[in-house]
Amino acid sequence: MTRTLLAAVLLASAAPAVSQQSITTLPAPVAADPRVAALRDDALNNDHYAWDIVEGLTTEVGQRLAATDAEARARDWAVKRLTAMGFANVHVEPFDMPVWTRGAESAEIVSPFPQKLVVAALGYSGSTGPAGVTGEIAYFDSVDALRAAPDAAVRGKIVFIDHHMMPAQDGSGYGQFGAPRRQGPTVASKKGALAIVIRSIGTDHHRNPHTGVQYFTDGATPIPAGALTVPDAEQLIRILQRGKPVVMHLTLVSEKREGGHSGNVVAEVPGRDPKAPILLVGGHLDSWDQGTGAIDDGAGVAITTAAAKHIMDAGQPLRTIRVVWFGAEEPGGFGGTALAKAHAADHYAIAGESDFGADRIWRFGSSYMKSDPATYGQLTALLAPLGIVKNDKAEADGTDVGPTIEAGAPWVSLSQDGTRYFDYHHTPDDTLDKIDVAQMRQNVAAWTTMLGVLSGGIEPQPKRRSRR
Amino acid sequence: MTRTLLAAVLLASAAPAVSQQSITTLPAPVAADPRVAALRDDALNNDHYAWDIVEGLTTEVGQRLAATDAEARARDWAVKRLTAMGFANVHVEPFDMPVWTRGAESAEIVSPFPQKLVVAALGYSGSTGPAGVTGEIAYFDSVDALRAAPDAAVRGKIVFIDHHMMPAQDGSGYGQFGAPRRQGPTVASKKGALAIVIRSIGTDHHRNPHTGVQYFTDGATPIPAGALTVPDAEQLIRILQRGKPVVMHLTLVSEKREGGHSGNVVAEVPGRDPKAPILLVGGHLDSWDQGTGAIDDGAGVAITTAAAKHIMDAGQPLRTIRVVWFGAEEPGGFGGTALAKAHAADHYAIAGESDFGADRIWRFGSSYMKSDPATYGQLTALLAPLGIVKNDKAEADGTDVGPTIEAGAPWVSLSQDGTRYFDYHHTPDDTLDKIDVAQMRQNVAAWTTMLGVLSGGIEPQPKRRSRR
């Protein structure tokens, strides 16, 4: 990783001058703040906080599906850990939400070639009940093809939607090729389908299905909705290509009930000026239920918390840093909505989240580009040695900080390399071994840099005693 | 793959001269038979037989566990396909054997950190029954450590054996690091263990457990025996490192019964001299039950059958080529034993099998090195352009042809690159997408070469009409 990073740094220094402006009109050099640079380099070389958090959370709690006992255990773990690390005002902000849980699931080709396939229910899937359902497969290569089909071609059948998502550094395939998951179940239901299975929204070739959320909208009745692994979807396509009717027996048992509880875990590094706008960073504490939520999103809470801790270790910032481990992001961003509502009166200097794994950050963008070009220049200059280019076309994103940004908070986006993210995302394979420690340190260094630049200045103070 | 192959060819031309003999005493050049070279190159560039077979078998039958209905369907499929390809004397040679089948299986840490782990029963595992068993984990880093432990440290507990198998081109880790699977259950049983789980004998980091055979020997009572995936084994180790007693609930339901049926599927390319020693090649038809048996060993039957078909397409060899799709290799080489017994009176010119995936062959060895150096020289010269080096230290191997070789048959070993074989071996991930078509063609070219050299000469004949 060191050589890769070095190469990226070299590229980052050279590329913007050539691609975005004439080489004869170089901008005035920005003097990077050496104190922030020192914090950055310390995090890059020495951080262990992030690994300690993600290793601990994934080992001692494991999966933590929203609104379940596991997520409650994770909140307890978080409060204990954040307190031990010396954060102030550590508390849980609870909220209510429905609970969806997975039961037994299996898929089997009944004819023409009997064999089992590997499947997982999508979030909020309807339940087949333990006996399962049996139906003929109706194949579509996209949601649009399903939409265009006459209802008679779908009614009473098990719809199967394919797609061809490829890996991309910016994860850009997820929007377009995620449509079979997000829209497919509703469209299939409204056409009278018995159930739906999709090719996993993923870029790997392993027998691990990718779950993920979907909602039945437009008054659609919930039907069983599952994802086949990529190899199983390809197998089903080969079977279909033989030209005979294909019959599947599908069991997807699940349960949805109202009255569940979740919550956001909030911790702060208090600023010297309690009235100054707050720096809001975080990731989400909940995970899907099949892996241990290492890259999604144990890494995100670990990275942002580690960065805040590096600032805390250096002294006291002018502005308060608020770290949030959001609850219940996966089933629909409940934590982000709850936080924005609970803190509608707060003022923010920035809002940003880490929720795209732990591979290196390759570019960034921020609303400061327009509102405060000097600060944007500082960020650009201080992030460049980490191999991070500025993205003047960036737009705000993030499920958890989204509602806070919509309410007016300035934003920053530190974009992780997503090339291999969708190999593991939402699968049993999202486990600790997928995290590259050196790359995660680069993330911590970038977030430390961002917090350092926006801190309003860090004043030395009697060193807090770190209890961990 | 082409560039890799080219590089390998260049290496293969240069390396032996330097490493194995003085550069001042070069051997007399061997004149490679141009007719065999032409067959070889045609297979390398044009083979589609192997893909057609492995794609068809894995799609239309899928998994084919020994002595089950699925394996019987696979035999029917094989007879039909081999007949359609124009092979003669296509028939099944049945034999009886016990049947072991898998039921429900799960593993769960009860304390200190409740969470599910992914497990699969090993072959001939005892059954926990549907209620499962609960016990404290007793950790060992090797079978030898387990052997050295006092019985009291094991009795009533669930033994967990770790290991650190690394990928190797020649698969050499499988012998040593496979001991936890092969010997662990017996040793644990004799010490009074409740059950045993091992770190999967594999080199990947996916949530797919590696099954495989083991036997309870020395009068050991069968106990439940399973393999955790590599990420799950690493998770269990992290949990154990916290220093608290770890309690697991383990469910491994399985059934073993006598009275099962399997069989070898035999097909021939009849030689001009029916009394000439036979060329015996093949792979095994059965597979483990979780993948579709693409690399283990759909590829092997496909490669060797394709090679025989290329000879058939070219004319009639002097010697009969016998292709065998062996039954029930995985649970203990039943097919190989049955074939040697049924054909004890037959004489062989060679016996060889393909059972190590479909990645390129990188070296070969043969008993001809000593018995017939001229033929060995021909093989060396004709295989070198495929990037295959000779291995003068090779020894006979292969579960299926082993008993025939032990009975006196000359042998050939065409060694596939096993670097990634144990990423998929015996897991749900052994599916068609793991086969690289270009590398598989190199395999077919090598086996075609071997059969061509040992054919005794191929005479043109009125072209058979290939029905596929």
> How do residues A129-145 score in pLDDT, each as one tens digit?
999 999 999 999 999 99
Buried b (16+ CB within 10 A) or exposed e, B100-111: bbbeebbbbbee
Contact B115 A63 (CB under 8 A): yes
Q: Work out the pLDDT band at A4, boundaries 50, 70, 90.
A: very low
A107-137 pLDDT, tens per residue? 999 999 999 999 999 999 999 999 999 999 9
> Residue A11: its pLDDT value, please?
39
> Residue B461: its pLDDT value, please?
75
Between CA B137 and CA A391 the distance in angstroms is 51
Q: Is B202 exposed, middle or buried (0-12, 13-18, 19+ CB in 10 A)?
A: buried
A302-319 pLDDT, tens per residue? 999 999 999 999 999 999
A426-441 pLDDT, tens per residue? 999 999 999 999 999 9
- The ipTM, to two decimals, is 0.90
Whether the CB-CB separation of B257 and B66 falls below 8 Å is answered with no
> Residue B23: its pLDDT value, please?
52
pLDDT at A24 exceeding the cut of 70: no
Contacts of B59 in chain A (CB under 8 A): 113, 235, 238-239, 242
Whether the CB-CB separation of A49 and A309 falls below 8 Å is answered with yes
Between CA A207 and CA A229 the distance in angstroms is 5
Q: Is the dihedral of CA A144, A179, A161, A334 positive or negative?
A: negative
3-state secondary structure of B356: coil
pLDDT at A41 exceeding the cut of 90: yes
Within A130-228, strands assigned E span: 133-140, 158-161, 195-199, 225-228
Average pLDDT, chain A: 93
Contacts of A230 in chain B (CB under 8 A): 433
Q: Which of A206, A432, A434 sits opposite B208 (nearest CB)?
A: A206
pLDDT at A12 exceeding the cut of 60: no
Which backbone phi and psi does B194 adopt, to 5 degrees? -75, -40
Any idea which residues of B carry the catalytic annotation? 329
Q: Which residue is closest to A115 within chain B, CA to CA? A: B62
Buried b (16+ CB within 10 A) or exposed e, A60-77: bbbbbbbbbebbbbbbeb
Q: Which residue is closest to A113 within chain B, CA to CA? A: B60
How would you classify the pairing of strands B195-199 and B158-161? Answer: parallel
Whether the CB-CB separation of A417 and A279 falls below 8 Å is answered with no
A137-179 pLDDT, tens per residue? 999 999 999 999 999 999 999 999 999 899 999 998 898 899 9
Q: Which of A59-63, A281-285, B169-173 has the lowest mean pLDDT?
A: B169-173
Could you count the other beta carbons within 10 Å of the beta carbon of residue B142? 17
Contact B59 A429 (CB under 8 A): no
A213-271 pLDDT, tens per residue? 999 999 999 999 999 999 999 999 999 999 999 999 999 999 999 999 999 999 999 99
DSSP B153: G
Could you count the other beta carbons within 10 Å of the beta carbon of residue B35? 14
B46-85 pLDDT, tens per residue? 999 999 999 999 999 999 999 999 999 999 999 999 999 9
> Residue A460: its pLDDT value, please?
87
Residues of chain B that touch chain A, judged by Cβ-Cβ distance less than 8 Å: 55, 58-63, 70, 112-116, 118, 205-208, 230-231, 234-235, 238-239, 242, 291-292, 427-429, 431-434
Contacts of B230 in chain A (CB under 8 A): 433
Could you count the other beta carbons within 10 Å of the beta carbon of residue B179? 18
Paired strand residues for B249: B108, B134
Q: Work out the pLDDT band at A3, boundaries 50, 70, 90.
A: very low
A317-368 pLDDT, tens per residue? 999 999 999 999 999 999 999 999 999 999 999 999 999 999 999 999 999 9
As a whole-number percent, the residues of chain A with pLDDT over 70 amount to 92
Predicted TM-score (pTM) of the model is 0.91
Contact B115 A231 (CB under 8 A): no
> Residue B31: its pLDDT value, please?
83
Between CA B121 and CA B65 the distance in angstroms is 14
Low-confidence ranges of chain B (pLDDT < 50): 1-21, 468
Between CA A354 and CA A447 the distance in angstroms is 9
Contacts of B58 in chain A (CB under 8 A): 235
Between CA A252 and CA A103 the distance in angstroms is 7
Contact A60 B206 (CB under 8 A): no
Q: Work out the pLDDT band at A383, boundaries 50, 70, 90.
A: very high
Contact A429 B231 (CB under 8 A): yes
pLDDT at A29 exceeding the cut of 90: no
Contact B59 A205 (CB under 8 A): no
Contacts of B70 in chain A (CB under 8 A): 114-115
